[in-house]
Chain A
Amino acid sequence: MTDLTPVLSATWDAEQSWKLGTYENAGGYGALKKALGMPPADIIQAVKDSGLRGRGGAGFPTGMKWGFLPPDDGKPRYLVVNADESEPGTCKDIPTMLSAPHILVEGVAITSFAIGCNHAFIYLRGEVVHVYRRLLQAVREAYAAGHLGKNIHGSGYDLDVTVHAGAGAYICGEETALLDSLEGRRGQPRLKPPFPAVEGLYARPTVVNNVESISSVPAIIDRGVEWFTSLGTERSKGMGLFSLSGHVERPGQYEAPLGITLRELIDMAGGMRGGKELKFWTPGGSSTPLFTAEHLDTPLDYESVGAAGSMLGTRALQIFDETTCVVRAVTRWTEFYKHESCGKCTPCREGTFWLSQILERLEDGHGTDADIQQLLDTCESILGRAFCALGDGATSCITSSVKLFREEYEQHVSERRCPFDHAASALFEYETSQATEEAHA
Chain B
Amino acid sequence: MAQIYDYLVIGAGPAGMAAAIETSNAGLSVLVLDQASSAGGQIYRNLGHADKQQTSVLGSNYGAGKPLLECFMAANCDYQSSVQVWHIETHTKGFLVAAIVAGETKSFLTSHLLLAHGAMERPMAITGWHKPGVLTAGAGQILLKSSALMPKEVVLVGSGPLLLLLAQQYRVAGVAIKAILDTTPKSNYWYAIPWLVAGLTNPMELFKGLWLTLVQRIKIPYISGVSHLEVMGDEQVSGVKYTVSDRVYNIDCKLVMLHQGIIAQTQMAQMLRCAMVWNERQQCWQIKADVMGYTSIPGVQVAGDGGSIGGALLAQIEGRVAGMGRVFNTPVVSPWHKKWVYSWLRFRVKQLRWARGLVDRLYRPAEWLSKPADQTIVCRCEQVNAKTIRSIVNSGCAGVNQLKRFTRAGMGACQGRQCGLNLSHLVAQTQQRPMAEVEPLSVRPPLSPINLGQLAKSLRL
A and B assemble together: no
Partner-A contacts on B (CB < 8 A): none
Binding site for B on A (CB under 8 A): none
